[in-house]
Amino acid sequence: MQVPAPIEYERAASVDEAIALLERHGPNSRLIAGGHSLLPMMKLRLARPEVLIDINDLHDLAYLRLDGPTLHIGAMTRHRDLLGSDLVGEHLAILHDAERVVADPIVRNRGTVGGSLCQADPSEDLSAAFAACKASAVVRGSGGIRVVPMDQFHQGAYTTAVGPAEMLVEVQVPIHPGAGSAYEKVERRAGDWAIAAAGAYLRIAGGEIAEAGIGLAAVGATHFRAAEAEASLVGAPPSEERLAAASRLAAEHCDPVADQRGPVDYKRHLVAELSLRALRRAADRAVG
């Protein structure tokens, strides 16, 4: 049986206490909430923190709030609450689409938005969805708060902009009335990591695409985004030809690797097809 290495345990009652514990224990300490990503890695000894700091009592970080043109999502918001929110469904259908294919109900009941983003797994669904929406991460440390755009937050596989004595406290997503969004995923079985996944966000004005976002998971896209494909869409009508051309660009500019889930050519084909499906649905959902 695989078991984690010996570890110390602390429980934080506030954000300030969690940050203080991170500072006290140093870079070998880790925050834990749902634990569905961290604990399996600890069992395999791929992650070996010396101290776990439990933040499940930080209920003040579990919220969904619309403030003007921005949706604020607390880092301790559970997947089930994001999926069940009418507010999210009204403004950001992509997040509901993505949450429906995040693992299984057990994981969605305990896993948190912040935990998923900070794990920074290359196949993580919410990372691609938030990348498409041009979201930002609010990071807090003893020196204060900083806001990090999502395309700077993820810095590589399992690596984020969160420092050793900092924590992600909120995700901010800009809201544009009438924008459309969608998420598509192919997996080997329900609840599995993606073979490939694509999210799309479109704002249409006067019959042309005023803003475009395309997020990709599991295929080696830089910062989970297909920037070249996004740029090709802005200023053009959302025609089938234009959407298909952008989808091909997304496939050309990602960097999948061959593994047990499939060869590179197959994954590129999936990126093109899933991007096109997501863009079509986003365009259908958009008003403008």
CATH 3.30.420.40 holds for 192-285: no
| pLDDT higher than threshold 90 for residue 45 | no
Interhelix angle for 93-100 vs 125-132, to 10°? 170
Q: By CB neighbour count within 10 A (0-12 exposed, 13-18 middle, 19+ buried), where does 175 fall? A: middle
In CATH, what number does 62-174 get? 3.30.465.10
Q: Where are the alpha helices (H) located in the chain, listed in sequence order? A: 15-25, 38-43, 79-84, 86-91, 93-100, 105-110, 113-119, 125-132, 150-153, 227-233, 240-253, 264-285
Higher pLDDT, 45 or 185: 185
Report if pTM > 0.75: yes
Q: Which of 5-14, 145-154, 221-230 has the lowest mean pLDDT?
A: 5-14
Instruction: Give me the mean pLDDT over the 250-266 stretch.
Output: 97
Instruction: Give me the mean pLDDT over the 155-180 stretch.
Output: 96
Q: What is the mean pLDDT of the chain?
A: 94
- Give pLDDT, residue 205: 96
Answer whether 282's CB lies under 8 Å from 180's CB: yes
Higher pLDDT, 87 or 40: 87
- Which of 202, 207, 208 is CA-nearest to residue 229? 202
Same topology, domains 8-52 and 192-285? Answer is: no
Summarised one tens digit per residue, pLDDT across range 99-120 is 999 988 888 999 999 999 999 9
Work out whether strand 51-54 and strand 64-67 pair parallel, antiparallel, or are unpaired: unpaired
d(C-alpha 217, C-alpha 185), whole Å: 9
Answer whether 172's CB lies under 8 Å from 84's CB: no
Instruction: Give me the mean pLDDT over the 149-160 stretch.
Output: 95
d(C-alpha 225, C-alpha 216), whole Å: 6
- Which of 275, 75, 68 is CA-nearest to residue 183? 275
- Give pLDDT, residue 4: 67
SS3 125: helix
Work out the pLDDT band at 41, boundaries 50, 70, 90: confident
Work out the pLDDT band at 40, boundaries 50, 70, 90: confident
Answer whether 178's CB lies under 8 Å from 185's CB: no
Work out the pLDDT band at 3, boundaries 50, 70, 90: low
| pLDDT higher than threshold 70 for residue 83 | yes
Q: By CB neighbour count within 10 A (0-12 exposed, 13-18 middle, 19+ buried), where does 86 fall? A: exposed
- Give pLDDT, residue 192: 83
| pLDDT higher than threshold 60 for residue 1 | no
- Give pLDDT, residue 107: 86
- Give pLDDT, residue 153: 98
Assign a CATH topology to domain 8-52. 3.30.43
| pLDDT higher than threshold 90 for residue 30 | yes
Provide the residue ranges of all domains of the chain, joining segments of one domain with +.
Answer: 8-52, 62-174, 192-285
- Amino acid, res. 188: R
Cα dihedral angle (53, 59, 62, 68), rounded to 10 degrees? -120
